Each structure stands twice: as structure tokens, then as C-alpha cells.
């Protein structure tokens, strides 16, 4: 049983709460809220957070910081595996979305906290659609466990995700993505498919070759292979 969970009916954003209170919170604290009034997604997007979703943030204060982005990918892998154990055909969309039937069911926003250039912590914020049935307003194809006919016990689901994560946390912290690469790639159905990436510095349409041992998206272009570290994969 994972004990360090702070529970709220409503917060602006569990990530924002973790960041505001970082210095007061212990390493590995989980913050969960039933609703968020200002839920945030990646790339400055909103994350609509009405009741019915599992919204939580995990605050980590590791000593080793070489592989922080890979912890986000580990969390995506753990959510994906947990959903599969419940019978959902979940898969991964690089870098850290979880999809079922090509519809998004979970997104992860990771944020590093610095004070005066010192690393204070990493917040991994997870938004997982559980019982929502009207997801038309989210702006992209989305689904929920309820829409898939799955109604898990929420507390067990949260505990299962956290257990999976902490079972692998130290090894990823020390060795990086390469230790989960094979599992990640197995659940990543886009190899060979043409995708589009636009991230401010790169605007590429090319076939996916693989995910590198560092967790980067490797694309095959006429000029050779290129590795993408940041961005959204559009298919
Ligand atoms: C994304 O796919 O864009 C990431 C979405 C992350 C949403 C979660 S919900 C809990 C945590 N608090 C937030 O404000 N965002 C993350």
C-alpha cells in the first residue's frame, strides 16, 4: 500500500500544487485531486479535468538526474501495462501518451523544479480518463475506461500504477531508457508508419524507424536517420 498520498476534492492543478509546495513535501509524495480547475497539458495546453478522471502528480527528488525525461516514459509504460492488465488494448504514442484504439486515454506532463539553477524535484503529472463519457470537448480523439466497458476500483488502479513505477524507478534512474526500451517498443505500434513532427526547430514527415536506447524517436529520412527528443507525433 502506497502511503504518501495527499487527496483533494479540487485543486487548480496537482502539478502546480506539487511545484508550489516542493520544499515542504517529502520525496515520492503523490498528490491526487478529483477535479482540477486549471489542469495543464503538454506544450501549454489545457487539460480538461472534470470529475471522472484520475488526476495525480508524483513528486520525485532523486539524487541522480541524468535520465529525468525517461522517468516520464517509464510512467507512460506503467500506465499502459496497468490498463492492459484490466483488459484494455492500450499502447504508447511517443513520447508519453497512452492510447486505446488510437484514442487518447492518458497524458503525462512532467515538470522539473529549479531554484537558482539547483534542481529541486521532478513532478510527473498523470491524467487518465476513467468514467468520463463526454470527451468531445478535449479537442482530439479521446476515450475513457468507462467507454471501453471497464470500471476499475480507482484506488487499486492508482496503487497498481505506483507499484509498477517504483518497481522500475531505481533501475531507470541509474541506467536510463535502455532498460525499458524493449518493453516500450513492444507497446509502440508506430514503427514503419509515416508520422509528422513539428516542434519549433524541426518540421519533418518521415517513417518511424525505432525508439533509440535514449528514448528518442528515430525517423528515417532520405538524408538518413534523425533523432527527435521533443515534440508531438502526428499520425
Ligand atoms: C498531456 O497529454 O498533454 C499531458 C496531460 C497531463 C494532465 C495531468 S492531470 C494531473 C496533472 N496536473 C496537471 O495540471 N496536469 C497533469
In this predicted structure, the answer to whether residue 101 has a pLDDT above a threshold of 90 is yes
The residues, ordered by sequence, that sit 6+ positions from 153 with a Cβ below 8 Å of its Cβ are none
Within 6 A (CB) of ligand 1 lie 13-15, 36, 39-42, 45, 47, 55-57, 97, 107-109, 125-127
pLDDT in tens, 153-204: 999 999 999 999 999 999 999 999 999 999 999 999 999 999 999 887 888 9
- The pLDDT, as a whole number, for residue 119 is 97
In Å, what is the CA distance from 203 to each residue of 188, 195, 210, 234? 22, 11, 18, 11
Question: Could you give the residue range(s) of every CATH 3.30.930.10 domain in the chain?
Answer: 5-186
- The pLDDT, as a whole number, for residue 195 is 97
Question: Could you give the residue range(s) of every CATH 2.30.30 domain in the chain?
Answer: 194-234
Mean residue pLDDT of the chain comes to 96
Q: How far is the CA of 36 from the centre of ligand 1 (A)?
A: 10
Per the CATH hierarchy, to which homologous superfamily does domain 5-186 belong?
Answer: Bira Bifunctional Protein; Domain 2 (3.30.930.10)
The pLDDT-based confidence of 137 (bands split at 50, 70, 90) is confident
The DSSP output letter for 159 is: H
What's the fold here for domain 194-234? SH3 type barrels. (2.30.30)
In this predicted structure, the answer to whether residue 79 has a pLDDT above a threshold of 80 is yes
The pLDDT-based confidence of 136 (bands split at 50, 70, 90) is confident
Nearest Cα residue to atom 15 of ligand 1: 40
Distance from chain centroid for Cα 3: 22
Rounded to whole angstroms, how far apart are CA atoms 199 and 225?
Answer: 17
Which is it for the CA torsion 227, 105, 129, 167, positive or negative? negative
Can you tell me which atom of ligand 1 is nearest the CA of 97? 2
To test the ligand 1 pocket, which listed residue (36, 127, 129, 138) has its Cβ within 8 A of the most ligand atoms? 127
Q: How far is the CA of 102 from the centre of ligand 1 (A)?
A: 19
In this predicted structure, the answer to whether residue 19 has a pLDDT above a threshold of 70 is yes
Neighbours of 24 (CB within 10 A): 7
The mean per-residue pLDDT over the stretch 140-145 comes to: 95
- The pLDDT, as a whole number, for residue 91 is 98
Q: How far is the CA of 109 from the centre of ligand 1 (A)?
A: 5
To test the ligand 1 pocket, which listed residue (107, 110, 234) has its Cβ within 8 A of the most ligand atoms? 107
Parallel/antiparallel/unpaired status of strands 53-60 and 29-36 = antiparallel
In this predicted structure, the answer to whether residue 230 has a pLDDT above a threshold of 80 is yes
The 10 Å CB-count burial string (b at 16+, else e) for 130-148 is bebeebeebeeebbbbebb
Sequence-ordered strand ranges (E) for 66-199: 90-93, 97-100, 103-115, 118-129, 194-198
- The pLDDT, as a whole number, for residue 139 is 81
Amino acid at each position: 500500500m502506497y502511503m504518501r498520498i495527499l487527496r483533494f476534492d479540487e485543486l487548480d492543478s496537482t502539478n502546480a500544487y506539487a511545484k508550489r509546495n516542493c520544499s515542504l513535501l517529502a520525496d515520492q509524495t503523490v498528490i491526487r485531486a478529483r477535479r482540477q480547475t486549471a489542469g495543464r497539458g503538454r506544450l501549454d495546453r489545457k487539460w480538461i479535468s472534470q470529475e471522472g478522471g484520475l488526476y495525480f502528480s508524483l513528486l520525485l527528488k532523486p539524487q541522480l538526474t541524468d535520465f529525468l525525461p525517461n522517468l516520464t516514459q517509464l510512467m507512460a509504460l506503467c500506465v499502459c501495462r496497468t490498463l492492459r492488465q484490466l483488459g484494455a488494448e492500450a499502447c504508447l504514442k511517443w513520447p508519453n501518451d497512452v492510447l486505446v484504439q488510437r484514442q487518447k486515454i492518458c497524458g503525462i506532463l512532467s515538470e522539473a523544479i529549479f531554484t537558482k539553477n539547483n534542481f529541486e524535484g521532478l513532478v510527473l503529472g498523470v491524467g487518465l480518463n476513467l468514467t468520463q463519457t463526454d470527451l468531445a470537448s478535449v479537442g482530439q480523439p479521446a476515450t475513457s475506461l468507462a467507454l471501453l466497458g471497464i470500471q476499475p476500483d480507482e484506488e487499486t488502479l492508482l496503487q497498481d500504477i505506483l507499484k509498477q513505477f517504483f518497481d522500475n524507478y531505481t533501475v531507470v534512474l541509474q541506467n536510463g531508457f535502455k532498460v525499458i526500451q524493449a518493453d516500450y517498443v513492444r507497446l509502440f505500434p508506430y514503427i514503419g508508419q509515416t508520422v509528422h513532427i513539428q516542434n519549433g526547430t524541426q518540421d519533418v514527415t518521415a517513417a518511424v524507424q525505432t525508439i533509440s536506447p535514449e528514448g528518442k524517436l528515430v525517423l528515417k529520412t532520405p538524408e538518413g536517420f534523425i533523432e527527435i527528443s521533443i515534440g508531438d507525433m502526428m499520425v
